[in-house]
Structure 1
Amino acid sequence: MNIGCVVRLNCSSDIEKEFKNLVDLGLYSCQVVSWDRKFFNSEKNAKKIKEVTEALKVHVTAFWCGWEGPTFWNFTEGPITLGLVPETFRMERLISLKEGSFFAKDLGVSDLVTHVGFLPENQNDPQYTGTLAVLKDLMKVCEANQQYFLFETGQETPITLMRMIEDIESDFLGVNLDPANLLLYGKANPVDAVEIFGSKIRGVHGKDGLYPTSPKALGKETRIGDGKVNYPLFLKKLQDVGYQGDITIEREISGEEQIRDILYAKQYLEGLMN
């Protein structure tokens, strides 16, 4: 397992500078993240990323594709605004994800990742069946592009996610396991989730956090090692299920503290993996 970090890009980004910043941190693996539809609808941007990453010897493991519309990262507005679950935004976001699939293809990347939303545990819920239908549609594009679609964990219980994967009936499906998200949303213990997801895990975020203390707000993200993810056991469980991919650090703050925490996370993970 190599250690990497997310690289966030949009139309105002200096692509070369962003990847040089990654290398300056001593990291040569990343997931490219973009919520800017204009950015990932550009073959020119894909070509530039390929040129820069090849020159810097950076390996892009996945494209994390965002979508347009309102986003509320909480337990109140979240279920009606996030991902493909809300019917109001579903079809437009499906189009965005299809565009993201072609961007990933242009990048030469085999994995497309996103948050699908608060999947209902009741498989008879119309929101579940509606989301299932659009995901089957999306998979036609991903399969044609020889590309895996990965569910970013957090907003649903692991077993609900595995039910959706089973119901879609595609060999090109997987999980981007964010252990902190499982805690922040109060959905599962990350160590137990590894056993549930098993061989479906194709990507892992290096992130930490705490369980929620309010019924309406997510738990708090923390620096790696300061939260409730048992990283020594978590990494061992990943090895036990045969995971050989990278650990991609994600710290969702900004400024100097973010840089310090990323460097700390790199050192912390290296200490556990060596």
Structure 2
Amino acid sequence: MPIEPLAIGVCSWSLQVHSIPELKGFMDRLGISVVQIACGDPHHAAWDEGDSMPQAALAAGFQMSGAMLGFPGEDYTTPATIQQTGGFGDPATRPERIERLKWALARTKALGLSDLMLHAGFIPEVGAPERHAFLDTLATVARLASDAGVTIAFETGQESSALLRRTLDDLKAPNLKVNFDPANMLLYDKDDPLKAVELLAPDIRSVHLKDANRPTTPGEWGSEVPLGQGQTNTRAFVKALQKIGYTGPLCIEREVGDQNQRFADIAHGIAFLKECLASN
């Protein structure tokens, strides 16, 4: 059964769950049926079901919009540490991360899905000496995903939208797309989300809905806040998505607070998004 356009969903790791029944229980309480689901890596929730997670997820009765992959060793302590350790940025970790990608592609297919989301890492600027090797790695990612019948959606935030646009244009891989997270652009202090929507419009494949404020001190993180309470301008962002013809789900992500606080903030976000959609 296809997912309805602009259906409100949740990112599984935001709920800090460890089993499919636990995830299903939270989703039932929230009154939603759509989830972007973690593959089962250290950063996006390990599953008690282990290798049988895909079968359990398929039997659970919810709708999955795509899978999410993080890599062991990624360190989000500061923007500087994730720049050093994120995605495919470090040449020393690329071979093992390509192997992890192969595992995630197989899990994505086992889940009956065609979309896998991940952070590419900090993309080198045009003209930087390390850019050629980095783009070669992303081309390998695209080839492996294409062979598996999977679309890769790179999550926004660790680069400007102009650099991401240029990179996608340079790669010319039809199965490389964008997982648009407007709050990340503020947390990393990289871009204006509303202007970025227009620039990346042709390739926006999926969306994370969260809110944030820009950092007040350069080099530090911005602050993540509940939907509608930050500088993302979620109401205008949803309207911008509708204007460009985006019809995918709106998956709420919440990455701070304990499980009870996250659940409350996600419930608030669902109500807020319903209000945004009704008023647009």
Q: What's the TM-score once normalised by structure 2's chain length?
A: 0.90
Q: 1:160 and 2:163 equivalent?
A: yes
> How much is the aligned-residue C-alpha RMSD, in angstroms?
2.0
| Moved >4 Å (runs of 4+) | 37-43
**Residue 43 of structure 1: CA displacement?**
4.6
Secondary structure, counterpart of 1:237 in structure 2: helix
Q: Judging changes above 3 Å, is the alpha-carbon distance between structure 1 residues 190 and 6 closer, same or farther for their aligned structure 2 residues? A: same
**Corresponding residue of 1:23:** 28
CA distance in 2, matches of 1:78, 1:151: 16
**Residue 261 of structure 1: CA displacement?**
0.6
CA distance in 2, matches of 1:8, 1:230: 24
**Residue 243 of structure 1: CA displacement?**
0.2
- Could you tell me which amino acid in structure 2 is paired with residue 183 of structure 1? L
Q: Judging changes above 3 Å, is the alpha-carbon distance between structure 1 residues 154 and 135 closer, same or farther for their aligned structure 2 residues? A: same
**Residue 100 of structure 1: CA displacement?**
0.6
Aligned length: 267
**Corresponding residue of 2:253:** 250
**Corresponding residue of 1:224:** 227
**Corresponding residue of 2:128:** 125
CA distance in 2, matches of 1:78, 1:14: 28
- CA contact 1:199–1:242 (8 Å) conserved in 2: no
> Cα deviations across residues 170-221 of structure 1 (Å, max 9, x unaligned)?
1111111001001111111111110010121111111000011112211000
Q: 1:270 and 2:277 equivalent?
A: no
- Could you tell me which amino acid in structure 2 is paired with residue 267 of structure 1? A
- Could you tell me which amino acid in structure 2 is paired with residue 111 of structure 1? D
Secondary structure, counterpart of 1:256 in structure 2: helix
CA distance in 2, matches of 1:162, 1:111: 19
CA distance in 2, matches of 1:27, 1:159: 34
**Residue 237 of structure 1: CA displacement?**
1.0
Among residues 132, 136, 159, which one is paired with 2:139 in the alignment? 136
- CA contact 1:149–1:172 (8 Å) conserved in 2: yes
Q: 1:14 and 2:19 equivalent?
A: yes
- CA contact 1:40–1:46 (8 Å) conserved in 2: no
**Residue 42 of structure 1: CA displacement?**
5.7
**Residue 131 of structure 1: CA displacement?**
1.8
Q: Please, which moves more after superposition, 109-118 or 18-27?
A: 18-27
Taking the TM superposition and a 5 Å limit, the aligned residue runs for 1:60-209 are 60-121=64-125, 123-209=126-212
**Corresponding residue of 1:48:** 56
Secondary structure, counterpart of 1:120 in structure 2: coil
CA distance in 2, matches of 1:40, 1:178: 28
Q: 1:214 and 2:217 equivalent?
A: yes
> Cα deviations across residues 134-157 of structure 1 (Å, max 9, x unaligned)?
111121221122211001011000
- Could you tell me which amino acid in structure 1 is paired with residue 130 of structure 2? Q
**Residue 78 of structure 1: CA displacement?**
2.3
CA distance in 2, matches of 1:187, 1:36: 26
> Cα deviations across residues 37-65 of structure 1 (Å, max 9, x unaligned)?
9869965221221112xxx3x11001011
> Cα deviations across residues 158-179 of structure 1 (Å, max 9, x unaligned)?
1111122122221111111001
- Give me the identity figure in percent: 30
CA distance in 1, matches of 2:96, 2:195: 35
- CA contact 1:43–1:106 (8 Å) conserved in 2: no
CA distance in 2, matches of 1:117, 1:41: 29
Secondary structure, counterpart of 1:196 in structure 2: helix
